[in-house]
Structure 1
Amino acid sequence: MGIDGPILVLTCADDPTSDVVVSELNDRGLPVFRCDPADVLTGHLGVTAHVGAPGSLLHTDTRTVDLGSVRSVYYRRPSSYTAPPTMTEHDGQFAKEQARHGMAGIVASVRGRWVNHLWRTLEAEFKPTQLTVAHAAGFLIPPTIITNRVDDARAFAKEHGPIVYKPLHNTDLVGPDGNVAAIWVDDVHVADLDDSLGLTLHLFQRRVDKVADVRTTVIGNQIFSVRIDSPYLDWRRDYEQVSYTVIDTPEDVERRCRRYLDRFGLLFGAFDFGLSHDNTWVWYECNTAGQWHWLELETGLPMTAALADLLEITR
């Protein structure tokens, strides 16, 4: 690792959040190498990796980086691996798996500071693990059940209702119109629970009796909390009806956030909370690569600078 070496940014081409970080790093005169690991399947990313010898290189159409010289890595939002359309389904599946396992193993060998390391990110993206660690960290979490048994779901709804449904993983879905289809957090009634639950796993929680939501973004040793007011249960339904207010993070919440991140070995986390009527912060989830730049635009919080500091100062 070189403390004056380049900063490696791993993300997709269409990522405005990484755009502003790269711009800030460029303004500081810091060398940056940005690429999408999935481009190894498109011909726009070349790889030469030696095991047990120096000189593992990544090549884009215009630049080359020696992974041994990288000072830090911003692992933001790489694309999914997609095989070239010229391949058969069988060959494409083989190519995707080879690329995914090869690229992950190669870039994971970088010894600089990661925000966040892909192995730590992978562990922390599973909702059941998140909930278990959040509970151990001292957060208040809503009663939760993960099940494919309709009788157990109905019993949970009767005991803890009103309840909501949340997906266990944000999967890329396309609606009938061809556009990306979002799954919002929504109310669930006992009558909605039928035998179709047996087809997969579902996560249900008691609905939080909230007055607002809070997004708390931890970037290294800095922490930023923003209250989010919306008329909707899930404020993401309509950003035009959302208002933002910068608020202080209670000391106990900050301690729990850091305890949670330390458990996973993370330096960045975007935490979501519900703010109850008695001002209790109820934990929803933590996204290891969550969006934050729109909050900086809305509030003026110096989040881009905080992220750039974390990538620049590795000592």
Structure 2
Amino acid sequence: MSKSKRIAIENNNMDQLADVIKRHTSDEYLNQTAIPGLRFLKVSNPEHSLPEFNNPFLCLIVQGGKSVMIGDAVYSYQKGEYLLFALNMPFVGMVAEASAEEPLYCLHLDIDMPLIAELLMDERLRIDFTKDTTTTGVYLDKADGNLSNALLRLVSLLDTLREAAFLAPMYIREIHYRLLRSEQGRQLASLSMPSSNIRKIGRVISYIKENFQDPLRMDDLASIAGMSVSSFHQHFKRFTISTPLQFQKQLRLMEARRIMATENIDATAAAFKVGYQSLSQFSREYHRMFGNSPSRDIKNIRDSALGNTLRNNKGLA
């Protein structure tokens, strides 16, 4: 197949995906669908930052543009591109291209790790685990025709829900297979291997997530990972693009933002509730992460539909 014909097919798939998603997306921000693990994001106003903390998932842009900040790294992607989060990492999403006439539309699909492990049992995949080439816990790629076709078939089931219960699991299985066969699929595959370094860091991430209010002890985290302290620091930074302390700070700030927006408490109470000892430090770091003071940011959230999204997100767990 020629390159021009392949590009035409990929663009046509994105346009069809956008048409289906528009029909099934009414609310601003995250919209749950009738298919488990499948959500659509709609944003008409590009002024708000969008903090999110999810299980491993894929985010495909079908219209508009978006940037994601993870630690010190920024990933920008547009129509036809996707980010795949192989680890449970905090990040801040920033809308780069959206309007009331042409909103940002994204497809979110949870990654089913037991399904990944099951697929890897088939020797025909032939993924080489002898060398750990994983770079980070997130990667950016373009949805080729095979992947976009499978996603289109899955999303189109929303128009024929009677078939969804039977067909959705098969299409989701194919999507996971396509991701494993992608250029970066080895990073996703590594999470199913208990001895892989990325899987070990994943255990530490779960621990920090559950204890983000408490002080961190590097010896304890290294022990959870089964690594020396120096090796742990190296691999944590490699996979999460942040240090453990930076990672914890991001979790604290996101949770503080959520509870201020949904539980009607002020910045002082929120800061101490998530583990800060200094209000000035909290305000300074909050402004650096979200681009506004806590009071101004929360006012913007309450004036927008983002408040409903945060309200539905009951904590980090």
Which of these two proteins has the greater Rg computed from alpha carbons? 1
The structure with the largest strand share of the pair is 1
Q: TM-score, normalised by structure 2?
A: 0.27
If the length of structure 1 is used for normalisation, what is the TM-score? 0.27
